[in-house]
A and B are shown apart, each in its own frame.
Chain A
Amino acid sequence: MSSEGKSTLILKGQPAAPGIALAPALVHEAQIPALPFRTLDESEREAELARFEKALDETEGDIERSRALVADQLGEDHARIFEAHQLILSDEVLLDQVRSLIGEGLAAETAWMQACGRVIEAFRGLPVGVGDRSEDLRDVEGKVLERLLGRESRGFAHLTEEVIIVATDLSPSDTVTIDRRRVKGFVLEKGGPASHSVILGRSLGIPVVTGVEGLMAEVSAGDPLILDGHSGQVTLNPAAKDLRVFEDLQEAYGAWEREMLRFKDYPAETRDGRRIELLANIEIPEEVEAAREHGAAGIGLYRTEYLFLTSPALPGEEQQYEAYRGVLEALAPEPVILRSVDLGGDKIPGYLRFPREQNPHMGWRGIRYTLSMKDIFRTQLRAILRAGAHGQLRIMFPMVSSVEEVLQIRRVLDEVSAELKAEGHALGKKVQIGVMVETPAAVAIAHLLARHLDFLSIGTNDLIQFSLAMDRNNPLVSGLYDPFHPAILRQIRRTVKAGHSEKNWVGLCGELPEDPLFTILLIGMGLDEISTGPYRIPGIKRIIRSITLDGARQLVKTAWRGMTAAEVREKTRAEALERFPDLADLLLRGESS
């Protein structure tokens, strides 16, 4: 796989599923091209109708092939999505509209898009709770258009070579047709960490990188790519030296796996006996396995958004209960911290209607949304509390910024518990309640919040973003987004002290910076719990087991003498190398990143 004539280009994205792959790109064009608007002469219309019918026939064949393949590989249940697609394709009301538009002189493509557009528009006015309509129609719309435009069906079912899929984003019906033996990874220009393709990648054990700006513009079909699902780096047209780096990375990945096995069964305890609760973040019940394999002592953040984002309609109490119970049961007696659903911002399921907001990240999301949508909130709490009977449950609430919110949460929890008891349901015992600390306001009143709670959990991503007032997705300022900023370290220490003064334990469940210095500082600041992606756990455990609490505290003192993030890093790294020489490899790697 050489790349003569093309220069190497490095693109950065978000690492979404770990692993490393090298293969040529399969560029997946999901975008519908701009169509020239033209009207047909009377004489052309019949031929145009025939062309449309032919495209319908072909699409029907495509859908049937996908259906059969998915039914065979994943089971009939997954194949049901295609039945709805087949019915849409034979919906006479829709097709008659298209035919009459063609009869009026529109080209088949335009007529088809207009008719589908009208239906999607009609769906838009429907009440909350009955979902999943437009996404499927869009899916079918795209398939027919491709046939009309004479493009090959874009499914991934019949690949003969190994590839890395390069796409803007992938639809659910695209991802179910993926051939596990051929697809070595996905890289997406969009796609959040909870998108369908990401979850699929994780369950297939292949690397996924999302949010790569400029990806579609830069990559051409067949370009060789190196995809690093740990760092989020995509190397396009790698040169000989990059290929050596790839081999090194593969080797490092193997070494890392061996390291993982070495630390898996030991507790996360410092050399002087300070035990840290080291837990895993998960999004779907299937990740429980990965969490255990990597030696997590429980789940520190079960994000429930995925269930809401992938379900065709608002998930009901039973559906949620089954999912939550499965996780609690699998881990009992280890703890599971369930977070109430954090919708809004960039996480909006197709079946819910949100107003357009100027600044959705500071808008109607997290606890603000659920407290104003009581039905959704109560249904979820009922499911969570019932699941609590099957394990050690803790519940956590996102985006809290006032004591009033905590009191309201408490009130709803009490009501729902009483209701469930009256109905004769078994509930969990000693269920701990906590909130995420992810706004500067929550830090400032952490002791007041803690008075009503059992624990606080710091959400780093939002806390850094809101404290520094820097949008980490904005390339103009994202370079300044720095967890070592002295303001951030002080926010964390303040939160830990405030929590401890009210007998709360304090943890951190956001993205944990790669640099091991950060973990050491967290321990030194007195943090009780760390929850991170399952794949990070062995590395973090190794750090914890190599240090002493006393040494980490000394390091925090040194950090406090740093005036800038760079100074903090420089001073503490030098000292950490002296105190904890066992971690030299990690500490020096942290320096280069």
Chain B
Amino acid sequence: MIERKLEIVNEKGLHLRAASELVKLTSSLPCGVSLSNGLIEVDGKSILGVAALGAAKGSHIIVKTDGRDEEGSMDRIDDLFRRGFYENVI
């Protein structure tokens, strides 16, 4: 299991459309993914779970990957966070 703290950089935060980009990725990964905002931990493959984090721009999310290719999977998730889920980053 590996863990990384990632920042939300897109302006709108992890709203439903951004969450759907994230879940499209996590669903294709061979390992388990979980996300936590320090208060609640959710299944990273559940769009409603991810959206329920209510993560705004500038907040940090603790991401855990666990299982096959957890390292490579984490890198891809990290990359998507950096790209702001393909949305406007200012």
List A residues at the B interface (Cβ < 8 Å).
80-81, 83-84, 87-88, 91-94, 119, 122-123, 125-127, 129-133, 136-137, 312-314, 316-319, 351
Contact = CB atoms under 8 A, between A and B. Distances in A.
A123 B52 CA distance: 6
Given A87-B24, A119-B52, A137-B48, A130 B15 contact: yes
7 contacts: A83-B17, A88-B47, A91-B46, A126-B52, A130-B12, A130-B54, A313-B13
Nearest to B21: A83
B56 interface: yes
A510 B8 CA distance: 41
A313 B14 CA distance: 10
Interface string B29-60: 00000000000001101111101101111000
A94 B45 contact: no
A307 to B, nearest CB: 13
B88 A133 contact: no
Contacts of B42: 93
B6 to A, nearest CB: 16
B79 interface: no
Contacts, number: 83
Interface residues of B, number: 26
Contacts of B12: 130-131, 312-314, 316
Nearest to A317: B90
Q: Which 10 A-B pairs have CB atoms at the shortest separation, nearest pair first?
A: A126-B54, A93-B46, A316-B11, A130-B13, A313-B12, A87-B47, A84-B20, A313-B15, A129-B56, A133-B51
A126 B16 CA distance: 13
B63 interface: no
Contact of A93 (B19, B48, B90): B48
A91 B48 contact: yes
Given A87-B23, A87-B47, A136 B16 contact: yes
A87 B20 contact: yes
A312 B17 CA distance: 9
Contacts of B23: 87
A130 B14 contact: yes
B88 A318 contact: yes
Contacts of A129: 13, 56-57
Given A312-B15, A314-B12, 14 more contacts: A84-B16, A87-B20, A87-B23, A87-B47, A91-B47, A93-B46, A93-B48, A125-B54, A127-B56, A129-B57, A130-B12, A131-B12, A313-B12, A318-B90
